[in-house]
Amino acid sequence: MPLTAWASRLLPADPARRRLAVFLGSALLLLVLPLVAQGFGNAWVRILDTALLYVLLALGLNIVVGYAGLLDLGYVAFYAVGAYMFALLASPHLFETFPAIAALLPNGLHTPIWLVLPLGAALAALAGVMLGAPVLRLRGDYLAIVTLGFGEIIRVFMNNLDAPLNLTNGPKGLSGIDPLRVFGLNLGRPLELGGYTLSSVTLYYYLFLLMAVLSVIVCVRLEKSRIGRAWMAMREDEIAAKAMGLNVRNLKLLAFGMGATFGGVAGVLFAAFQGFVSPESFSLHESVLIVAMVVLGGLGHLPGVVVGAVLLAALPEVLRYVAGPLQALTGGRLDAAILRQLMVALAMIGIMLLRPRGLWPAPEHGQPAPPRPDPAALPPVAAKPGSPP
């Protein structure tokens, strides 16, 4: 019997109860997943953590690209803004570099999570509006080139702001970043619960999962709001949107700002999780990868974007266990990293050939208009009494 038939027999027949059962089953699976993965090693839980971070980034970029139709290739810049902001506030770099700050705050500046997350989101949103303001008249390829340049400018700044005033420590990056603390719980240390040890990466998994769920809720509310509908109208036809009275300029700035907010929050979480940031983590490759997640999953469709992010974030890490044996088969002539990239590229090409609109595209996006009925096939309209023949 097919798997779908087994699932249909197990799930309730009522649609509402079936949705509730699927929701509860998915929630239980997401809660138990890191506990199972932890048994095979923390590396697998770390893969899950990375996938959730990319889900946050893909959801933010989906607002800009999927909803508003603005092709942004510099999205990783907002990720870097959030990460460096937290790194400067939670690492000893400022105290070691500037004696005045060390004298003012001798115990260090250990910023709580409830302050750094809104601060990172606000700073990234400001950067998003600053990017959007000069490019309001650009669309398509021209907008992609300008945003790509913005992302590279941010990375170059991070790479060179170590002289004459050392703010970012240049290519050496910032280390010694404090782990996050939630209600007094240090996520950087293992937690003992009834004789069972939850590792640090598992604790971070639950925090990232909570942020991903909140982000999905925000995106769903945005999608169904008047602003979301206005973004989609602007995406389909900007001139028609203007003719309908929509303020396209403000809608674009709002899309850039809202999308960047997600990037800033993800950057804060990334810096705390890694404990180290450097300009190499925010290269053009990361921007292209996030765009690929959105397009591969399904442009403008939340479930598709989540699936695309998880797939492209986890696939290269999982392929580490496949590339090694393949390298041994070639006698070591091919590098394992190159083999891994080759397999990821082939998988992406195959998916786009088989499903050009993405793995899980939006139901109504891109569908052709319904055909007009043939006038000859329509039934004749009866003449009104008193009308001329």
Q: In terms of DSSP H, where are the helices of 161-283? A: 200-224, 226-236, 238-243, 248-274
Report percent pLDDT > 90 for the chain: 45
Query: What is the average pLDDT across 88-117?
Result: 83
Residue 31 pLDDT > 70: yes
With 70 as the cut, is the pLDDT of residue 7 above it? no
Low-confidence winner among 83-87, 106-110, 116-120, 341-345 (lowest mean pLDDT): 106-110
pLDDT at 56: 95
Q: Quick check: 271 pLDDT over 90?
A: yes
- pLDDT (tens digit, 9 = 90+) per residue, 186-211? 899 999 888 888 999 999 999 999 99
Band of the pLDDT at 255, cuts 50, 70, 90? very high
Residue 80 above 70 pLDDT? yes
Report the sign of the C-alpha dihedral through residues 148, 150, 153, 154, in that order. Answer: negative
Give the pLDDT confidence score for residue 22 in this predicted structure: 82
Phi-psi region of 195 (alpha: psi -120 to 50; beta: other; left: phi over 0): left
Beta carbons within 8 Å of 203's beta carbon, 6+ residues apart:
185, 187, 191
Is pLDDT above 90 for 15?
A: no
Phi, psi of 363 (to 5 degrees): -60, -40
Position 382 scores a pLDDT of 59
Chain centroid to Cα 364, Å, comes to 22
Whether residue 12 has a cis bond before it, omega within 30° of 0? no
* pTM, entire model: 0.87
Comparison of pLDDT for 228 and 16, the residue scoring more = 228
pLDDT category of residue 40 using cuts at 50, 70 and 90: confident
Q: Give the span between the Cα atoms of 45 and 33, in whole angstroms.
A: 9
Whole-number Å distance between alpha carbons of 70 and 61:
9
Give the contacts of 209 (CB within 8 A, at least 6 positions apart): 30, 52
Q: What percent of the chain has pLDDT over 70?
A: 90
Q: Is the pLDDT of residue 88 over 70?
A: yes
Judge contact between 64 and 219, C-beta under 8 A.
Answer: no
Q: What is the pLDDT of residues 292-340, one digit of tens each?
A: 999 988 888 899 999 999 999 988 888 877 777 777 777 777 777 788 7
